[in-house]
Structure 1
Amino acid sequence: MKIAVDAMGGDHAPEVVIRGVEQARDQWPDLEFILFGDLAKVKPLVQNSTRLTFVQADSQITNEDEPVKAVRTKKDSSMVMAAQAVKQGEAEALFSMGNTGALLATGIFIIGRIKGVERPALMPTLPTTDVTNVVNLLDAGANAESKASYLEQWAIMGSIYARDIRKIAQPRVGLLNNGTEFDKGDSLHQEVYQRLQANTALNFVGNIEAGNLLTNKADVIVTDGFTGNAVLKATEGMASLLMKQIKLALLNSGTRAKLGALMIKPALGQIKTKFSTSANGGAVLLGVNAPVIKTHGGSDEGAVVSTIGQIREMLQQQTIHQMIAFLKANPIK
């Protein structure tokens, strides 16, 4: 299995990317990598070139670039060249830590949409209050506006992913809404509710309120991209703020509190790990013809390794091929 890697994407590229790729290469002997980037910066960082191929890319897409314009004009960039390698069959999947909007554009315009998918969706994996489970949220920001048919397609793809990758026989699918009753929400959400309830391929469990996003009420939660992105960022921001406030309170409340902080430090570390960017893998662009996955630009090599493991599992299970086959046999409009 061969993965195309944007070696220049991310806040700490190419150092973190190379370290993560080498660790993943050593962990999984069935993986090969094509690294696209400035080879003068990439090659000196490589400890062992086994199962690594290097391709010079003369430019890179930064976070300041306008995504669609950058994909169209920077054809010699590491991200675009990696996507072209997937399109041409030289690699089976694309990994990047770079500009999210640009990666969405490369997935849609270069690798291409699955036939029958109107709009691909961005799907991160989030922790829940159940330490043994996580939840997939989609769309987390690929589409500012949505139609009911989009959400039904996302529910199908998210359910197939949860079944194949997370090994859940009948994934619980929920609809993010402003109440649990069937008639809650605007006309879009009311229509989506009826569609999901009527689709016999789904184990639909009804509406999920934002306050229960991480309480293990569902395995897959679908929403429009605008709402999903806002909820995701609010959740991430609150988790970060809470950890900081706990730390400040413990350190600024006298000697007894500091002693208590030492006692609970291991427990706080476990919570921090559970909510870290490296704990649950990367965000998948579902709805394109190959695995396209990114992780946060500020992540460490641990996130690179876990995300590559996620890609490997998708390739082994042929998850994208299963989505293609299902939607061909059961078109949703």
Structure 2
Amino acid sequence: MGSTCVRIAIDAMGGDHAPGEIIAGALRARDELGVEVLLVGDPQQIQNCLPPKTNLEQVEIVPSEGAIAMEDEPLTAIRRMPKSSINVSMDLVKQKRADAVVSAGHSGAAMASALLRLGRLPGVERPAIGAVFPTIMASKQVLILDVGANVDCRPKFLEQFGILGSAYSQYVLGVEEPKVGLLNIGEEDCKGNDAAVRAHQLLRENPQIQFVGNAEGRDVLSGRFDVIVCDGFAGNVLLKFAEAVGEVLLQILREELPQGLNGQIGTAILKPNLRRIKQRIDHAEHGGALLLGVNGVCIIGHGSSQAPSIFNAIRIAKDAVDHEVLQRIQSQYSTLQSESS
């Protein structure tokens, strides 16, 4: 398994720190992960951000015209700016010139562009953004979806998120039999509103999902679940809260470590442990979220992404391509549709 040369289209103009930090992360990924990167954006700005003595023959720059601002209405903007960096990036995947897209720009625009240019996988009604969270179990992560693509969800969408999340968890995260939960206000089957009760029933009856019940807020990071499904409103609140908690914990560690010579000695001894703590709780280490359900690999990064986040987002994209996540998900849906017909 694995691609001989994965090509990633990078939206170099998307994000608060574009294009400098985006380019720095992309070049690091090229050197350390062995991927080819296509930097999409304004050629002059990209060249101005390249390190001195960069061999331009090793860097492919794909021209685009403008970038979609965070305050723009997504669908209107991508139609008004067909040659914007996110649209050109998606076109590269559609044309098979790239295997995946990474963008830290307007997440709504990235999703709208993916839907219009790449389309949905057959059988998928609504794509979902899946984000990986750490848990209290050192070797285990949990995939949450949706974290922002669909504010309102019908029960059928939540069932489909369970299928999408299970496939990703199994084939990319390496979980043999992913345990799926439904975010809810209680563990009992009857808890929640009508949509939650109906979603619970659909998830429980789906033979392709190992559904283990409702997940309360305190269960999200417990390690009991491998996948948790929810609507994009609750998921996005959960995502932003988890990011804030991680930042608070890192700041507390900085403040509470002893000062002076003893502090330096203690910090040196604890350095490997502190590095592992940072890797587990710092959202920059996770890079971005995969837009699951569209006919292409698309990673949506944080708007505030800097070089380390972009590097990790590209790593996620490479993993998804190497593990053939699109083909796996499509196979799951083909099986489901044949069984229901």
**TM-score normalised by L of structure 1:** 0.91
Alignment of 1:287 with 2:287, yes or no, is: no
Q: Report if aligned partners of 1:277, 1:295 keep a CA contact under 8 Å in 2.
A: no
Deviation at 1:119, TM superposition (A): 0.7
2: CA distance between counterparts of 1:38 and 1:208? 45
The 1:75/1:299 distance shift into structure 2, 3 A limit, reads: same
Alignment of 1:41 with 2:45, yes or no, is: yes
Q: State the AA in 1 paired with 2:159.
A: E
The 1:218/1:106 distance shift into structure 2, 3 A limit, reads: same
2: CA distance between counterparts of 1:305 and 1:243? 21
Q: Report if aligned partners of 1:136, 1:158 keep a CA contact under 8 Å in 2.
A: yes
Deviation at 1:145, TM superposition (A): 0.8
Gap runs ≥5 in structure 1 = 252-256
1: CA distance between counterparts of 2:293 and 2:196? 21
In structure 2, the residue matched to 1:254 is none
In structure 2, the residue matched to 1:2 is 7
2: CA distance between counterparts of 1:48 and 1:317? 31
Q: State the AA in 2 paired with 1:286.
A: L
In structure 1, the residue matched to 2:134 is 127
- Which segment is superposed worse, 222-231 or 136-145? 222-231
In structure 1, the residue matched to 2:3 is none
The 1:239/1:2 distance shift into structure 2, 3 A limit, reads: closer
1:17 counterpart SS class: helix
In structure 2, the residue matched to 1:17 is 22
The 1:50/1:168 distance shift into structure 2, 3 A limit, reads: farther
Deviation at 1:236, TM superposition (A): 2.2
Q: Report if aligned partners of 1:125, 1:136 keep a CA contact under 8 Å in 2.
A: yes
1: CA distance between counterparts of 2:259 and 2:42? 47
The 1:145/1:305 distance shift into structure 2, 3 A limit, reads: same
Deviation at 1:216, TM superposition (A): 0.7
1: CA distance between counterparts of 2:223 and 2:285? 17
- 1:244-323 equivalence runs, <5 A: 244=251, 250=256, 258=259, 263=266, 266=271, 270-323=276-329
1: CA distance between counterparts of 2:17 and 2:33? 24
Q: Report if aligned partners of 1:22, 1:48 keep a CA contact under 8 Å in 2.
A: no
Q: Report if aligned partners of 1:121, 1:142 keep a CA contact under 8 Å in 2.
A: yes
Alignment of 1:233 with 2:234, yes or no, is: no
Identity %: 35
2: CA distance between counterparts of 1:52 and 1:318? 26
2:277 counterpart SS class: helix
Gap runs ≥5 in structure 2 = 1-5
Alignment of 1:27 with 2:20, yes or no, is: no
Q: Report if aligned partners of 2:243, 2:282 keep a CA contact under 8 Å in 1.
A: no
Q: State the AA in 1 paired with 2:335.
A: A
RMSD of aligned residue pairs (Cα, Å): 2.2
Deviation at 1:133, TM superposition (A): 1.3
1:126 counterpart SS class: strand
Deviation at 1:312, TM superposition (A): 1.1
2: CA distance between counterparts of 1:324 and 1:49? 38
1:330 counterpart SS class: helix
- 1:1-333 equivalence runs, <5 A: 1-29=6-34, 31-46=35-50, 47-49=54-56, 51-244=58-251, 250=256, 258=259, 263=266, 266=271, 270-331=276-337
1: CA distance between counterparts of 2:57 and 2:134? 34
1:124 counterpart SS class: strand
The 1:71/1:187 distance shift into structure 2, 3 A limit, reads: same
Q: Report if aligned partners of 1:25, 1:51 keep a CA contact under 8 Å in 2.
A: no
Q: Report if aligned partners of 2:153, 2:231 keep a CA contact under 8 Å in 1.
A: yes
1:278 counterpart SS class: helix
Q: Report if aligned partners of 1:285, 1:291 keep a CA contact under 8 Å in 2.
A: yes
Q: Report if aligned partners of 2:247, 2:282 keep a CA contact under 8 Å in 1.
A: no
> What's the CA shift string for 1:114-135, capped at 9, x where partnerless?
1111111111111111111111
1:150 counterpart SS class: helix
1:13 counterpart SS class: coil
> What's the CA shift string for 1:107-164, capped at 9, x where partnerless?
1122111111111111111111111111110000111111111111111111110111
Q: Report if aligned partners of 1:125, 1:281 keep a CA contact under 8 Å in 2.
A: no
1:36 counterpart SS class: strand
